[in-house]
Structure 1
Amino acid sequence: MNKRDIADIRKHFKAGTDLLKINTIYNVYIQAESSEIFHEVSQPFALLDEEQQDLFFTNFKKVLGGKLGVKLFEVKFVRQSDNEDDNEEHAQKILYDGLQTDDIGNWRENMQRMALKMVQDFHYEKDLVITFIRGNYYKPTKRSKDETDSDIRDEVYSTPFILCSMNQTDLPKRSLVFDFNEKEFKSSITLDPIVNTTSPVGGFLFPCFTDNAADVNHILYAAGKTNKPDHRFIEDVLNGEEIMTAEDNKTVFEEIVKEVMGEEIDSRTLAGVYDEIHNMLMVEEDNKEDGDAIPLLDTKEVERVLKAGGVKEVSTEKVERAFQKILEDKTYEMNANDVVPSFTSKSIKISTKVADISINPADLRYVRQVTVDGRLCLLIEVEEDAMVEGFKLISEELLK
């Protein structure tokens, strides 16, 4: 899935839309003490009152909020076993069966099995409410230039889906309230746990959508916190393959570059490497039509980027050895968007004992580390006088 697909389905979680229909909702209350189901209920989503529907819509949007590689991760299912008994508990089979069945009892049974997988051999600190919905997502086909008067909803892609959200509960705080009937102040004695629907601790969407078609071999996993996916959940509950976060990819790229050219680099070369990757992204942005696939950096692209950035003595063999040493996989492809700092903010951090400086990657070439009278100095080329606490700094001729 790409960010546009996610954003499109996310915006339709609202009342009154005709492009997304939720058929059934199934809620499971898990007690933290026992990790067992305390209560469960399945019902048509339309039977919920309007206020409850709005709360769930907000919750589902939260599940699908965040950036790919940071909070959302497309996970590939591991191959199912040749053992039929093992396959019965494989998440892909459970979810696929739940999606295909017309029997509400079977749907509920399959989602119950998924809920129990989530708490098996894992203890949550607070009671947990797991919500499953089953529905249909409709996406209009792309209009041709000749279709000037046709309704964009005449033809749509229809994709059935299952979305899951996991939400912890909190006990209400004791408070002082005013009773209008008795006309007196009282302490609040409400003990009903509050389901924290605004901060889901996890979830997923099945299946993924690729080129407007369902991809049942992948599932979109939603982490509770940025760059902190639950690897146990991905591998043991979703039966998915290992994933890399955007932060992981950035670290891997840095280690590969160090392996190829060493630990030291001048600012102009580093700026050139970042510029080359940024240009790749801009070209893709200008050329994209239907989707927004991000360019990938494999060994060949990394070699090209480093050479274009000005790195000396780069070879195919060096880059492949670096991939093999760092990743143990010469075929790995990194998301180019993960490894380059943001060009829309001062995302480059320069740290020294004297000061910490933040600059835009485009301005990195104007920063140099130099030696003046045997002392290490940071030189920043500027186009105007520098101001410090309202004072204009005097220019000093130190460098010949």
Structure 2
Amino acid sequence: MITCKNDRLLELLWFVGYCIEFPAQLAVRIGGGAEWNRRVMYRAIREGYVKLFRKKHHRHVIRSLSLTEKGFDYVAQHDPEAWAMIHSRISNSDPVYHAWIEKILRLHAIAIGTVMANAAGAEILQSRKPSLMSPAKRAKNSITPDPQCAYYYVPHELRTAIEEYSPESVSKSSRTIGIIVKGRQCYFLYYTGISRIYGCFVNSSREIVSYIDESMGILPQDEAEKYLNLLKKALSGKLGKNLIDIIFSTEQVADSDEHRLLMALRDSELKDGEIREEFYQKVIESLDLGDSNYLILLAHDTYDVPHKNKNDEMDADASDAVFAYVVCCVCPVKERKAELGFFPGDNEFHSCAGQIVAAPELGFLFPAFDDRAANIYNALFYSRKADEIHQEVIDSVFHTTAPMSAAEQKEAFQNALSEALGDACNMELVQSIHDRLRDQIEQHKESHAPEPLELSVSDAAAILRDNGVEEEKILAFRDSCATQFGDGATLNPANLIDSGRFEVKTADATISVDPEHSYLVETRIIDGRKYLLIPADEDIEVNGFGVRVKGE
């Protein structure tokens, strides 16, 4: 790329020109010493080789470098080949206007990927790397891939190749800043947006032992990834089970301490220590994790919502809104058993123990992201266990009642059936309900509908009616549901049944059957005794040992 490494000014001008818009704070990371690079940047600005653009954007100041005519002349004089690369790059790119902040930020992200790829020894120039396109669309003089060389591709090259191989696909790359390919290995470079991590370590006596206030940029990569994975885990799971919608009333949003605190966390980008401390204390005073130590983590991030054009298609390179949010997770900290470990410095084995951070027990995202915009009337709450949603934390932090957990919904639905139907709640009816709800769940999965599946009480009553249940008992079932869930409630079928299994239990035995073959299980009364019957037309095994039926 740059052959004259002893000319740091030329190297800086090459990067600024090739990237079109270059973040000023990245100039110190190009190569060599940071302080020397800073001096080179100030010289380039002072002597007019680059121009510095400043603009406030969402409580940040954007500082961007771009090449001037004088800078072009310097590059042309000292390295004509580099000048030709820059000229070709700019000629093949759309013009950049400083009013288009989102375009500048996108170019900044690609500049970060370019500097990272260059530091990793990857080839970044279009003319010196293999094409990602299909053989039919490659140039005749295209480069043959060398499995020993690394190649860097920007998001535009990646998207173009994906859409060429699969025209119907929509390649989403708003967080991708590039990909490095070496042989059969691919390394995706992602822009996380999270620049700082905050938190505190709390012992079993509810005392804060230490605080966390770390820049993600200076953390070792493996540590930064572990922090991000913990936060990511707090946004995982199924909606309605592990993920619960917390809904604020209009009065709370208008004037309440709990909503004001959450908004202050978001609006301050977690930079206000007093606000963070107030939040920590709210969690500590309410959370019940028994005798476990735990870690509270907080992070702030922004997401550029992709623009939708007039054809209702996503434009990954454009954005007309920014979603700013706070994500929190609470992770138990567990004692690790003392084990022998090898210490390279001593070349010996010693006993080592310590404390490790487990997967999050609970967490939340505020505000919620609905209809491609921030919804300050909602928060998304995470609970690792669907039947333990930590209502004590919801009461303290959100001051609202959470919806029934999945386990509570299932129990309430079963109670409504058994109380209203009585003797009519037999094996065949339960099988039919299970099969109907399971079919709905499977059809919803296949449809890939973004909205969660819903079942109204009227829908459930229709299933009972189709199975010949008397209208009087159906009416009793509807009344019981109104008592259990409230008038007009809608339920998630996935919370009412376990669609992945069909299990029948007695006091002394348990029978598990594939849900698709639940019809094989029958109930009979023979000589006054109740039996569960399963056809045994094919081979039978007992603990892996083939057996035959007596009298066969």
Which residue is 1:37 aligned to? Answer: 208
How do 1:283-302 and structure 2 match up within 5 A?
283-289=443-449, 291-297=450-456, 299-302=457-460
Deviation track 1:212-257 (CA, whole Å, cap 9, x = no partner) reads: 2222222222224342111111112332323211111111111111
Identity value in percent: 21
The alpha-carbon distance between structure 1 residues 264 and 387, as it changes in their structure 2 partners (threshold 3 A), is farther
Which residue is 1:117 aligned to? Answer: 282
The alpha-carbon distance between structure 1 residues 204 and 151, as it changes in their structure 2 partners (threshold 3 A), is closer
The answer to whether structure 1 residue 393 and structure 2 residue 549 are counterparts is: yes
Which residue is 1:340 aligned to? Answer: 497
Separation of aligned partners in 1, 2:261 and 2:349? 52
Which residue is 1:72 aligned to? Answer: 243
**What are structure 1's unaligned runs of at least 5 residues?**
1-7
Letter of the 1:154 counterpart? A
Letter of the 1:47 counterpart? I
- Alpha-carbon shift at residue 325 of structure 1 (Å): 4.0
Q: Which is further off, 313-322 or 237-246?
A: 313-322
Q: Please say if residues 247 and 400 of structure 2, whose CA atoms lie closer than 8 Å, have aligned partners that are also in contact.
A: yes
Question: Helix, strand or coil: the match of 2:193?
Answer: strand
The answer to whether structure 1 residue 322 and structure 2 residue 322 are counterparts is: no
Which residue is 2:388 aligned to? Answer: 228
How do 1:81-230 and structure 2 match up within 5 A?
87-88=256-257, 90=258, 92-101=259-268, 105-106=271-272, 108-120=273-285, 125-140=291-306, 152-155=316-319, 158-171=322-335, 173-176=337-340, 188=352, 194-196=355-357, 198-230=358-390
The answer to whether structure 1 residue 368 and structure 2 residue 522 are counterparts is: yes
Match of 1:56 among 204, 227, 234: 227
Letter of the 1:56 counterpart? Y
Which residue is 1:273 aligned to? Answer: 433
Letter of the 2:488 counterpart? T
Q: Please say if residues 331 and 359 of structure 2, whose CA atoms lie closer than 8 Å, have aligned partners that are also in contact.
A: yes
Question: Helix, strand or coil: the match of 1:22?
Answer: coil
Question: Helix, strand or coil: the match of 1:279?
Answer: helix
- Alpha-carbon shift at residue 318 of structure 1 (Å): 2.4
How do 1:349-360 and structure 2 match up within 5 A?
349-353=503-507, 355-360=509-514
Q: Which is further off, 211-220 or 123-132?
A: 123-132
Q: Which is further off, 383-392 or 368-377?
A: 383-392
Q: Which is further off, 108-117 or 123-132?
A: 123-132
- Alpha-carbon shift at residue 279 of structure 1 (Å): 3.3
Q: Please say if residues 71 and 228 of structure 1, whose CA atoms lie closer than 8 Å, have aligned partners that are also in contact.
A: no
Separation of aligned partners in 2, 1:261 and 1:115? 49
Q: Please say if residues 26 and 40 of structure 1, whose CA atoms lie closer than 8 Å, have aligned partners that are also in contact.
A: yes
Letter of the 2:332 counterpart? Q
The alpha-carbon distance between structure 1 residues 387 and 162, as it changes in their structure 2 partners (threshold 3 A), is same
Letter of the 2:403 counterpart? I
Task: Give 1 or 2 for the bigger CA radius of gyration.
Answer: 2
- Alpha-carbon shift at residue 357 of structure 1 (Å): 0.8
Q: Please say if residues 143 and 152 of structure 1, whose CA atoms lie closer than 8 Å, have aligned partners that are also in contact.
A: no
Letter of the 2:475 counterpart? E
Q: Please say if residues 420 and 474 of structure 2, whose CA atoms lie closer than 8 Å, have aligned partners that are also in contact.
A: no
Question: Helix, strand or coil: the match of 2:403?
Answer: coil
- Alpha-carbon shift at residue 36 of structure 1 (Å): 3.8
The answer to whether structure 1 residue 21 and structure 2 residue 196 are counterparts is: no
Question: RCO greater where, 1 or 2, for CA within 8 Å and sep 6 or more?
Answer: 1
Q: Please say if residues 452 and 492 of structure 2, whose CA atoms lie closer than 8 Å, have aligned partners that are also in contact.
A: no
- Alpha-carbon shift at residue 132 of structure 1 (Å): 0.4
Deviation track 1:59-106 (CA, whole Å, cap 9, x = no partner) reads: 12322233333332222235646996xx23x1x22111221236x643
Separation of aligned partners in 2, 1:82 and 1:353? 51
RMSD: 3.6
Q: Please say if residues 28 and 40 of structure 1, whose CA atoms lie closer than 8 Å, have aligned partners that are also in contact.
A: yes
Letter of the 2:318 counterpart? D
The alpha-carbon distance between structure 1 residues 288 and 232, as it changes in their structure 2 partners (threshold 3 A), is same
The alpha-carbon distance between structure 1 residues 385 and 194, as it changes in their structure 2 partners (threshold 3 A), is closer
Alignment TM-score, normalising by the size of structure 2: 0.58
Separation of aligned partners in 2, 1:182 and 1:277? 62
Separation of aligned partners in 1, 2:324 and 2:540? 59
Question: Helix, strand or coil: the match of 1:46?
Answer: coil
The alpha-carbon distance between structure 1 residues 95 and 260, as it changes in their structure 2 partners (threshold 3 A), is same
Which residue is 1:3 aligned to? Answer: none
Separation of aligned partners in 1, 2:420 and 2:470? 10
Deviation track 1:30-63 (CA, whole Å, cap 9, x = no partner) reads: 3433x34343343443333312211112212322
Letter of the 1:357 counterpart? I
Q: Please say if residues 169 and 194 of structure 1, whose CA atoms lie closer than 8 Å, have aligned partners that are also in contact.
A: yes
Which residue is 1:4 aligned to? Answer: none
- Alpha-carbon shift at residue 369 of structure 1 (Å): 1.4
Letter of the 2:516 counterpart? A
Separation of aligned partners in 1, 2:309 and 2:254? 46
Letter of the 2:415 counterpart? E
- Alpha-carbon shift at residue 270 of structure 1 (Å): 2.2
Q: Please say if residues 297 and 330 of structure 2, whose CA atoms lie closer than 8 Å, have aligned partners that are also in contact.
A: yes
- Alpha-carbon shift at residue 179 of structure 1 (Å): 5.5
Which residue is 1:307 aligned to? Answer: 465
Separation of aligned partners in 2, 1:256 and 1:26? 46
Alignment TM-score, normalising by the size of structure 1: 0.77
Q: Please say if residues 287 and 393 of structure 2, whose CA atoms lie closer than 8 Å, have aligned partners that are also in contact.
A: no
Q: Number of matched residues?
A: 367
Q: Please say if residues 262 and 366 of structure 2, whose CA atoms lie closer than 8 Å, have aligned partners that are also in contact.
A: yes
The alpha-carbon distance between structure 1 residues 227 and 139, as it changes in their structure 2 partners (threshold 3 A), is farther
